[in-house]
Structure formats: structure tokens, C-alpha cells
Structure 1
Amino acid sequence: MVSRWFAFLPNLITIARLVLTPAIIAMITEARWQAAFLIFLVAGASDALDGWLAKTFNLQSELGAVLDPLADKALLISMYVTLAIMGQAPVWLAILIVSRDALIVGGVSVSWFVSRPIRVRPHIASKITTAVQLLLAALILGGAAYGFRLEALETLLIGSVAALTLASATVYLWVWVQHMRP
């Protein structure tokens, strides 16, 4: 039998990611790029770790199904908005990312409001989008922290994030429309 503490470990890791988000944002706004980068790496790794633990040891929970995407959205939205404000990421990209997440949250909220709740489960398009968004944010932070810019790679990742964000939004909109049809 799995101990109660171990069974809750993926959720604790997810909560830690939520707690780390304001610390990362504070480091960015204070231009403490190395600290922001290192904390971000820990937060990004925690996203992979909590999912791996939950799947490997069959520790999935309803709380985790809600907390994990919430932590991802809090981290990524905060990151891209702050990076855009600090002039490190394109403003249009931050707007696109926020708009996609608002669309998803809005769709889930509407479905609950009209008593047609939709099950919250990440689509593979969303997982890939999140991974590439994390990679781009890490590249931008690493560049600011250590004084280098891999401009060609950054440009490629910006295009990839934009395309994947639009594709993911389209997938979720399609799933939502299918769910809400009479």
C-alpha cells in the first residue's frame, strides 16, 4: 500500500511549482536573470517530475488533473507577460498565449455554467505546446542570464510556439464545440 504522503507527492510538486512562479517573476522584474533562470529550470523540471510520478506509480487524482494545468498556465502566462513587459519576448506572442489559455478556461467555465461540464484532460497538442513554451522561456531566460542570444533558434522557437499555440487552441475549440453540440 502506498503511503498517504507519497500518494500526494505529485500534487505537492505541482503546488511547489505554483509557489515558485511569483519568485521567478520577482527575479525577472528585478533583472536577477540567473536566479530567475535557475528557479525556472526547477519549476520546469517539476512539471515533468509530477507527471512521471503520477503515471509511473498510478498516483493520478482529480485534484492533480486540475492543479497541474493550473500551475502550467500560471507559470507560462506569468512568464510570457513578464518577459514581454521586460522587452525579452514579443508582446504579440504573450497576447497569443494568454488568449489561448483564456479560450480554454472560458470554454470550461461556460460548459460548467450551462450544466454540461467537460472533463479536464490535456490533449497531446497541449502537452507539446507547453513543452515548447517552456523551452523558449528557458532559452530567453538563459540568454538574459548568461549574456548570449541564439537568435536563429529563438526565432524558430517563437514561430513554433505561435503555431503550436494556435493549433492547440483550435483543437480545444473543436473538442469544446463537439461537446456542446445538442
Structure 2
Amino acid sequence: MQPENNWTIPNILTVFRILLTPVFVMSFVSSHVHLALLVFTLAGVSDALDGALARVLHQRTRLGAMLDPLADKVLIVTGFLCLGIVGWAPDWLVVLVISRDVIIVGGLGVLHFWGVEVRATIRPSALSKVNTTAQLVFLFLVLTDRAGMLSLPGTQATVMVLVSVLTVVTGVSYVLRGLSLFPTQED
């Protein structure tokens, strides 16, 4: 079997997105909201682009399948944490979003420890992808509002409710799927 080429354009874009996260944080904590918004938008565009390029160029890799959701989690958790610290997002929403991701990643670790092949059995659901998109849209809306570029309070509130519901529903779904994968012992 020939080794997989991991240095594909989509994977490079994904690594780029991961590396943009500290730039976003530094911009945000330095109160350069416009720059933070630009970096966040660039990360969001690279997210859409890497997936599309992987499909079009037939450059899907196992590394990309692992890095892409990791890059999403890093950006989303960091974004919500930043917004929560300065009070731009409700504490309960920040805790909800971050807790869901910590529980999922922790559950995957426990399943792996128990010998369950998690990569082969757990794939992101379509609803989970919608959740990720909604979370990114919420972060974008808050940042554009705080940068004084676009204020859509009704849309922002609607997306916040959507994020809340999707975060709970997809979190419960992953927990139930994970629990069903634990090996059972026969007496």
C-alpha cells in the first residue's frame, strides 16, 4: 500500500486555519476587533474552501478527516471563550458550547481507551455540521456587531437560540451514540 500524501492543498489550508486561531486571540485580547474579525473571517473562508477543494481535487486524507474537525473545535471553543470573557456572549451559552465539545472529545478518548475504533464508527452527523456552521455564524455576527460593521440583533438572537438547541441536541446524540459503543461484558 502506497503511503498517503498528507501535504495536500486542503490539509495545508486546515493547518493554516489552526495557526490563525492564536492570531485571532492576540488580535481580540489586544482590542483590535476589526483585525480579529478579519482573521476569523479568513479562518471561516478557509474552512469552506478546504472541504470543497478536498472533494473537487479528490484530496481527501485520513489526516484531513482528523484535522478539519479539530480546527473547527479549536476556533469555535476559542471564539466562544473570548466572547464570554468580555461579556459579548452569555455565560450559559459559552459553557454549553465548550462543555459539549469537551464531553465529546473526552468520550472519544474513553472509547478509544476501551478499544473501540472510534474513527470507523463515529462520523460527524449532518446536524452536527449544521451546528458547527450556526456556531461560526453566531461568532461572526457578534464580531461584526462589535466591530460596528453590521448590527443584526434579531438575527443574532435567532442564531443564538438555534446554536443552543443544536448544541444540546447534537451533544445528546453523540453521547447516546458513544454509550451504545461501549463493549458489554458477558457474565
Query: Which TM-score tier does this pair reach, normalised by the shorter chain?
Result: over 0.9
The Cα of 1:167 is off from its aligned counterpart by 1.0
The Cα of 1:179 is off from its aligned counterpart by 1.8
| 1:83-111: CA deviation from partner (whole Å, max 9, x where unpaired) | 11011111111110111101110111001
| 1:103-161: CA deviation from partner (whole Å, max 9, x where unpaired) | 11011100111111212521111100010001010000001112653221111111111
The total of aligned residue pairs comes to 179
Structure 1 residues 31 and 175 mapped into 2: Cα distance closer, same or farther (>3 Å)?
same
Structure 2 gap segments, 5+ residues each: none
- More off after superposition, 81-90 vs 112-121: 112-121
Structure 1 residues 118 and 6 mapped into 2: Cα distance closer, same or farther (>3 Å)?
closer
Map residues 19-168 of structure 1 onto 2, 5 A cutoff. 19-119=19-119, 120-146=122-148, 149-168=151-170
Asked whether the 8 Å contact 2:6–2:63 carries over to 1, the reply is no
Asked whether the 8 Å contact 1:13–1:50 carries over to 2, the reply is yes
Q: Which amino acid aligns with 1:168?
A: T
Q: Which amino acid aligns with 1:110?
A: V
2:59 aligns to what SS in structure 1?
coil
2:171 maps to 1:169: yes
The Cα of 1:52 is off from its aligned counterpart by 0.8
Asked whether the 8 Å contact 1:125–1:164 carries over to 2, the reply is yes
Give the alignment's TM-score, normalised by structure 2.
0.90
Q: Which has the higher helix share?
A: 1
Q: Which amino acid aligns with 1:169?
A: G
Structure 1 residues 56 and 149 mapped into 2: Cα distance closer, same or farther (>3 Å)?
same
Question: What is the distance in 1 between the residues matched to 2:168 and 2:6?
Answer: 37
Q: Which amino acid aligns with 2:136?
A: L
Asked whether the 8 Å contact 1:132–1:157 carries over to 2, the reply is yes
Structure 1 gap segments, 5+ residues each: none
Asked whether the 8 Å contact 1:81–1:91 carries over to 2, the reply is no
Give the alignment's TM-score, normalised by structure 1.
0.92
2:117 aligns to what SS in structure 1?
coil
The Cα of 1:5 is off from its aligned counterpart by 8.1
Question: What is the distance in 2 between the residues matched to 1:103 and 1:139?
Answer: 26
